[in-house]
Structure 1
Amino acid sequence: MLTELSIRDFAIINELAITFNDGLTVLTGETGAGKSIIIDAIQLLAGGRGSKEFVRHGTKKSEIEGLFTIDSHNHTIYKVAKQFGVDIQDGQVVLERTITSSGKSICRVNSKLVTLAILREFGKTLIDIHSQHETQVLMNPENHLEFLDMYEPHKLVKAKEEYTYLYERLTTLKKRYKQLNENEQEMAHRLDLLEFQKNEIEQANLSPAEDELLEEERKSLANYERIYTSLTDAYNALYGENKGLEWLNKAMLSMEENTEVDSFLEKKSEELANHYYSLEDLTYNIRNQVESLQYNPERLNEIEDRLNEINRLKKKYGPTVNDILEYAAKVEEEIEEITNKDTHLTSLVEQIEEIEKDALLEAQQLHDIRKNSAEKLTKAVISEFKDLYLEKANFSISFELENNDNHEPKLHKNGFDHVQFLISTNPGEPLKVLHKVASGGELSRVMLVLKKIFAKHQGVTSVIFDEVDTGVSGRVAQAIAEKIHQISHNSQVLCITHLPQVAAMADTHKFIQKEQREDRTESKVKELTIDEQIEELSRMITGSKLTDTAIEHAKELLDMASSFKMHVS
């Protein structure tokens, strides 16, 4: 769960540190107090899109840091951490996001710098944010397959991996077939270009790693004087009268004279002799290297010319000579393909047909798994509907296929399934696509049902609801409050709400308010006591003016919430 959140210089927040607990935490406050800004900060921690507009006016950067504690050693986060080389100690994960005033984003996981894409991979295993925007996502049938696959993802993993491999290979082969099957004029132009490139590289007569060897030789020639001085000084210090080797020889002979009278002398005399002979060999090597050194300015010019030619080719064909030679090999393969186009087209057709058959089999397996999951999900959704006063509603998941020219299912990146969620909210009415039937309040309830179901399957540690209860009231509001609390049994839930029924259900109630300080607006967070919670609930019921009736109603809501919690625990 999200244990601590630290925000600095973010929008109207100067500096804020919030501690969160398990269960349901509700955030309330006046419109514009900064409730959604806190959710925006958490969304950025999860890898959301950043902007320099988030940086508090007059500051250089915004900093957001979140500490998550992981109870289960089997949590998906450990697999993600291993994949990206991040160490997790004591079940703690710290996500950090910095956004500079220039719009640059800096991301860290447990103090390790990561890309935004990697931060997003961590974020989606820890945080699930549900907002009114996500309800719009649910309305788009193109997203329904993704929702279905979220229900039992572990059952799809292997089949998806195998299908994805085949589909990507199939796509590559079809692309190559299309390229080879282009009109003759384009292929002739392509062949001319390839022939030119092949001849240009061949004429250079490159050798593997030639650029590295030439760079090393150039370095030696360019620094001839320094190398010569270093070697001769070292040699003169070691060899000659009263030099290093002579003194070592005297030490060695001195110890050898008395080895028979002392075991230490015997042992160390042998060590010293070994060092002497090793150093003597090194001295001779230095001398030979000095004698082999030659300063050849003409050779240096030759190397410069050759490296200039190689660098010209690098700009066209690759960063190293080995890359250029590898590119040349690919060019030869493509020339051979174009020259023998008909043969290769026939071969490609055979490969495409074979892989397409295998891909269809894997897609069929995906379809069968999804069908089974759809039946379970449908029953679960209908069961949950009853708690949200949609007991007369019916729900179904339809599967449709699109055929290709061969009257076979047309494949896409997720198989051949096209899925739609269908709903009927009134008895006797036919099932129709979700967005054509459901009202805003009904869509919110459908999404809430899906969240409750998926919370058990996904293992996400923190579920966040940002004003998902807009447009509902009365008994539906109470039902939504109860459903949100039920979700908190499986995951920590943070919820921004304007409904007193939802706020009353909180295990922890935090109040967000704006303060004026030195002509600047700042957001502050306060955890409410029971008396303060009653007062805030009363305000939510009646507005700014508190009445005895509203206070009694607030107390009644808290009693009802307490009774519900005891009943379902």
Structure 2
Amino acid sequence: MLVSLSIKNYALIDHLNVSFTNGFTVITGETGAGKSILLGGLALVLGKRADLSSLRDKEKKCVIEAEFSVGKYNLEPFFNENDVDYEERTIIRREILPSGKSRAFINDSPVKLTILAALGDSLIDVHSQNQTLQLGDNAYQFKVIDGLASNKDLLASYAKDLRLYKKETKVLENLLATKQEGIKEHDYNTFLLSELESAPLKEGILEELEEQYEQLNNVENIMEQLSKGHNLISDEQVGILNLLAELKQASSKLASYGTQFSTLNERVQSVFIEVDDIFEEFESLQNNIEANPKVLEEVNTKLQLLYDLQKKHGVSEIEELLRIKEELAVKVDATENIDATILAKETEIKVKEKALNAVCVKISKKRKAIIPELKKQLESILASLGMPSAEFKIELNATPNFVYNGKDELVFQFSANKGSAFGELKKVASGGELSRIMLAIKAVLAKYEHLPTLMFDEIDTGVSGEISNRMGTIMQEMSGGMQIFSITHLPQVASKGNHHYKVYKEDKNNVTHTQMKQLTTEERVVELAEMLGGKDLSDSAIAHARQLLN
């Protein structure tokens, strides 16, 4: 419910502050008084885009603030999703700066305009004659029927499941594309993998083979140097071991003469042990090494294979070849096992499709059940609004594919007069008829769901006094459970309001200002009388005005 509206520095409004209550509120005023300005200001605070022309004083900012009571609207999830503090009395503020920039706030939290607009859609529903054209929009027609059928929860569940279904369907499409592409590449990938699997790939293998190759390729020189080393150590006359043995003997005799001699002896003993160990290593290597052309050829072949693979795959490390091998193994395995994966995904999608179809059946069933009642109520209300021959033809047909709101196709047709052919609303209904149809639809919807505040902007234009009287009564009845506004030029509608506001212009210091005030009972009598007979008030106009109010 709209609790208050404050407008500063907007168009002809310098500063306007007005409070509202529940029930049926009517707003009247002469043509050009500024009713459209009021609606424009309200539209801005609800998220409409603005420009500098909105500013009355181009040097000051325009501030529009609206307070709403939102306790009945179940909007806490919206506030949480958008990281905005929830308050049952929510204040929306819009600022338009002289620079042209615009700022929006919800409960003093800055928000994007899209968020403000989304919240605004849940708070106020503004209808004018121009906007009645949406009656011909299929999406709006579905919205009406689903509102009456209480399909909100089913549609929310369907939308969630549909998103998952489409996501999994996309995965299946990618799998099928991968399979098709994989068939082309499979043989080549298998060949590359086979090459890598036949190669002696392991970390450090290249260094190991290169070392082995160097030894085998230089075996004669290695044997020559081993022999020379062996002789230098073991020669009976001048061999290192014999000389060290004599040194060891001498140092042993010195060891008992003090710490420095014993330490020296220990060092000589260690050197002897190390050289003796080196001698055994020389001897072992000399006995085990031999020329082996066959092994040399095998090692060379392995090296060349590794070098060729590195060149082929454009890498310089064995580790990179190992990585490529793993990737190829995954691709080959995926291609060879993709049929099983595709089958599993198809089975999963069929389960989701079955669940979606079950929800669609429920949605469609509830739609079909409510259509006769909608048709009956609409035609009854329109008969009371001067359209006794108005008739609707509403058909619901199944479609093969899932769409955003189920698997139904809606045909919503209308005939205003007996004998007239049925056709689309926007083609066969006049502006005045569309206005009455919109009012009838809102009146029916109000019985089935909690609607936001409704504001009818001269929706009664072009209708007779008798019909406007009935339109006012319908709005008055609707206001029993919700807040209704009607901007009207018709006294019959204005008289039905629980609250009556007048928009008017006044000049101060040669500057025109738009003002708005709530009328007292006597002021309402005068306003209604002027609407009936003009500024020159007659006794009959006054009497008629009182009669309307009573």
| Alignment of structure 1 residues 110-149 onto 2, 5 Å | 110-149=107-146
Query: What code does the residue aligned with 1:482 have?
Result: T
Q: Deviations over 1:341-369 (max 9, x none)?
A: 96355555444444323222221221112
Alignment match, 1:7: 7
**SS of the residue 1:33 aligns to:** coil
How far apart, in 2, do the equivalents of 1:348 and 1:92 lie?
Answer: 49
Q: Is the 8 A contact 1:501 1:557 kept in 2?
A: no
Which of 417, 429, 432 in structure 1 is aligned with 2:423? 432
Q: Is the 8 A contact 2:52 2:98 kept in 1?
A: yes
Alignment match, 2:158: 163
Query: 1:58: Cα distance to partner?
Result: 0.8
Which of 505, 509, 512 in structure 2 is aligned with 1:514? 505
How far apart, in 2, do the equivalents of 1:558 and 1:352 lie?
Answer: 69
Tell me, yes or no, if structure 1 residue 97 matches structure 2 residue 89. Answer: no
Compared CA separation, residues 36 and 190, structure 1 to 2 (3 A): farther
Q: Deviations over 1:318-360 (max 9, x none)?
A: xxxxxxxxxxxxx999978985696355555444444323222
Tell me, yes or no, if structure 1 residue 357 matches structure 2 residue 354. Answer: yes
Alignment match, 2:211: none
How far apart, in 1, do the equivalents of 2:93 and 2:119 lie?
Answer: 11
How far apart, in 1, do the equivalents of 2:472 and 2:523 lie?
Answer: 20
| Alignment of structure 1 residues 330-349 onto 2, 5 Å | 343=339, 347-349=344-346
Tell me, yes or no, if structure 1 residue 422 matches structure 2 residue 413. Answer: yes
Q: Is the 8 A contact 1:163 1:362 kept in 2?
A: yes
How far apart, in 2, do the equivalents of 1:52 and 1:75 lie?
Answer: 33
Query: 1:542: Cα distance to partner?
Result: 4.0
| Alignment of structure 1 residues 426-465 onto 2, 5 Å | 426-429=417-420, 431-460=422-451, 462-465=453-456
Q: Deviations over 1:409-446 (max 9, x none)?
A: 21111111122332222234454332232221111111
Alignment match, 2:75: 77
Q: Is the 8 A contact 2:149 2:366 kept in 1?
A: no
Tell me, yes or no, if structure 1 residue 413 matches structure 2 residue 433. Answer: no
Q: Deviations over 1:41-81 (max 9, x none)?
A: 223333344444433341443211112235xx554234544
Matched residue count: 409
Alignment match, 2:389: 392
Q: Deviations over 1:207-227 (max 9, x none)?
A: xxxxxxxxxxxxxxxxxxxxx
Alignment match, 2:371: 374
TM-score of the superposed pair, with normalisation by structure 2? 0.66
Query: 1:152: Cα distance to partner?
Result: 4.3
Compared CA separation, residues 505 and 109, structure 1 to 2 (3 A): same
How far apart, in 2, do the equivalents of 1:113 and 1:145 lie?
Answer: 34
Alignment match, 1:40: 40
| Alignment of structure 1 residues 107-256 onto 2, 5 Å | 107-153=104-150, 155-157=151-153, 159-179=154-174
**SS of the residue 2:75 aligns to:** helix
How far apart, in 1, do the equivalents of 2:109 and 2:344 lie?
Answer: 48
Q: Deviations over 1:1-45 (max 9, x none)?
A: 222111112222221101223322222222222212212222333
How far apart, in 1, do the equivalents of 2:20 and 2:54 lie?
Answer: 23
Alignment match, 1:290: none
Query: 1:162: Cα distance to partner?
Result: 2.6
Q: Deviations over 1:425-470 (max 9, x none)?
A: 2234454332232221111111001112223433245221111112
Query: 1:141: Cα distance to partner?
Result: 3.0
Q: Deviations over 1:70-109 (max 9, x none)?
A: 5xx55423454455555555x4222222233455442222
Q: Is the 8 A contact 1:25 1:494 kept in 2?
A: yes
How far apart, in 2, do the equivalents of 1:355 and 1:430 lie?
Answer: 43
Compared CA separation, residues 130 and 392, structure 1 to 2 (3 A): same
Q: Is the 8 A contact 2:501 2:518 kept in 1?
A: yes
How far apart, in 1, do the equivalents of 2:174 and 2:497 lie?
Answer: 61
Query: What code does the residue aligned with 2:74 have?
Result: T
**SS of the residue 1:47 aligns to:** coil
Measured on the aligned residues, the alpha-carbon RMSD in Å equals 3.5
Query: What code does the residue aligned with 1:470 have?
Result: T
Query: What code does the residue aligned with 1:397 have?
Result: I
Alignment match, 1:214: none
Compared CA separation, residues 444 and 186, structure 1 to 2 (3 A): farther
Q: Is the 8 A contact 1:538 1:546 kept in 2?
A: no
Compared CA separation, residues 152 and 61, structure 1 to 2 (3 A): farther
TM-score of the superposed pair, with normalisation by structure 1? 0.64
Query: 1:520: Cα distance to partner?
Result: 4.2
Of all paired residues, the percent bearing the same amino acid is 31
| Alignment of structure 1 residues 12-31 onto 2, 5 Å | 12-31=12-31
How far apart, in 1, do the equivalents of 2:95 and 2:487 lie?
Answer: 24
